[in-house]
Amino acid sequence: MIYVWPVAVLTLIYLVLTSNFTLNNIVAGMVVAVIVLLLFRPQSGNLAWKRLPTAVLASIKYIIRLMVDLLVSGIQVARIVLSPSMPINPGIIAIPTRCESDLSRALSAHAITLTPGEMVVEISEDGIMYTHMLDVTDADEHVREAQEMRETMLKKIFE
Amino acid sequence: METIFQLIAIIAITVGTFFSIVGVLGMVRLPDVYARLHATGKVGVFGVVLLLVAAVVWTPLGWARALLLIALLMVAGPVVAHALSSAAYRIGIPMKRPVRNDLEQK
C-alpha cells in the first residue's frame, strides 16, 4: 500500500518526459515505475497525514528560498569572478548542525551549498559540516544566522 | 501576451548566457579546485536554469520537461560540487592561500 504514491509519482514523471498520454504509454510508465521501485526499495517512513498540509507549505517555502539563494549566489560569484583584483579570502569553516536524520542532514548540506559563497566539503560523524567559503572574514555570525533559519524550515518539513 | 512571453524569454536567454560565460571565466580565473567548484557548481547551473526558463515560456511543447529538468539540475548541481570537493580534499589537494582551515585541526 505504501508503494502506491511512489508509483503514481514516478508514472507521472514518465508521462511528462515522454509527453504521450495514451493508455499504452500509461501502462508502460507504471511497469517502469514498479521496476524502479523494486530496484531501490524506498524506506517506508510513517507518513503522518495530519501534518501533511504544513509540510507541503513548508516545502514550497523552502524551495522558493532555495531559488532566491541560487540567484543571490550566482550574482555574488559573478561579481567576484569579474572584478579584476579577485577579492577572495578562501577558507574552510566548521558549521554545526542540529539535524538528526540522514535525510535532513543531506538536505541541509545541499541548502548550504546553494547559499552564496559556501560549499560543503566534508561532514563528520557528529554532524559538523566543514564548509568551504570564498570569503571567510567575519563569516561566523552570518553563517550561524542563516543556518538557524534553514534548520527551522527543515524541522517544519520533517517533524 | 505573446510579446510579454517573448520579452521574458529574450531576457532569460541573455542573462542565462551571461552567467554561463561567467561560470567558464570563473573556472579559468579562480585559484584552486574548491573555489573553481563555486563557479561551475552554482553559477553554471544558474545559467542553464535560466536558459530552460526561456525554453519554458518560449516553446509551448516542452514546458513540463523543462521544469523537470530545472528541478533535477538544482538537485544535481550542488551534489556534484560537494562530491568533487570532498574527493579533492581526501586525496589531499591543498587550498591556495587559505585564510582559515577548521578541517585541518580536526
pLDDT digits 0-9 by tens, B19-55: 888 888 888 888 888 888 888 877 778 888 888 888 8
| Residues from chain B contacting residue A19 (CB–CB below 8 Å) | 61, 64-65
* CB contact at 8 A, B102 and A93: yes
Residue A131 scores a pLDDT above 80: yes
Instruction: Give the position of cell 571567510.
Output: A136
A78/B22 Cβ within 8 A: yes
Extract the C-alpha cell encoding A95: 558549521
Q: CB of B72 within 8 Å of any CB in chain A? A: no
* CB contact at 8 A, B13 and A112: no
Residue A15 scores a pLDDT above 90: no
For B105, list phi and psi in degrees, rounded to 5.
-80, -10
β-strand partners of A122? A130
Computed over every residue of chain A, the mean pLDDT equals 78
Per-residue pLDDT of A56-91, as tens digits, reads 888 888 888 888 887 888 888 888 888 888 777 888
Which of B98, B32, B83 minimizes the C-alpha distance to A119?
B83
CA A75 to chain centre: 20
- Domain residue ranges of chain A, discontinuous segments joined by +: 4-40, 52-158
Distance from CA of A20 to the nearest CA of B (A): 12
Q: How far apart, in whole angstroms, are the C-alpha atoms of residue A48 and residue B64?
A: 29
Query: Which pLDDT band, with edges at 50, 70 and 90, does A44 fall under?
Result: low
Residue A33 scores a pLDDT above 80: yes
Residue B14 scores a pLDDT above 90: yes
Residue A45 scores a pLDDT above 90: no
A114/B64 Cβ within 8 A: no
Residue A23 scores a pLDDT above 60: yes
The amino acid that residue A100 corresponds to is E
Q: How far apart, in whole angstroms, are the C-alpha atoms of residue B66 and residue B61?
A: 10
The arrangement of strands across the sheet holding B100-101 comes to A118-123, A128-133, A91-96, B100-101
| Residues from chain A contacting residue B96 (CB–CB below 8 Å) | 90
This complex has an ipTM of: 0.74
| Residues from chain A contacting residue B45 (CB–CB below 8 Å) | 70
Mean pLDDT, residues A28-52: 73
Q: How far apart, in whole angstroms, are the C-alpha atoms of residue B73 and residue A7?
A: 22
| Residues from chain B contacting residue A91 (CB–CB below 8 Å) | 95, 98-101
B82/A119 Cβ within 8 A: yes
B86/A113 Cβ within 8 A: no
Per-residue pLDDT of B63-100, as tens digits, reads 777 778 888 888 888 888 888 888 888 888 887 777 77
Mean pLDDT, residues A115-120: 78
The CA-to-CA distance between both ends of chain B, in Å, stands at: 58
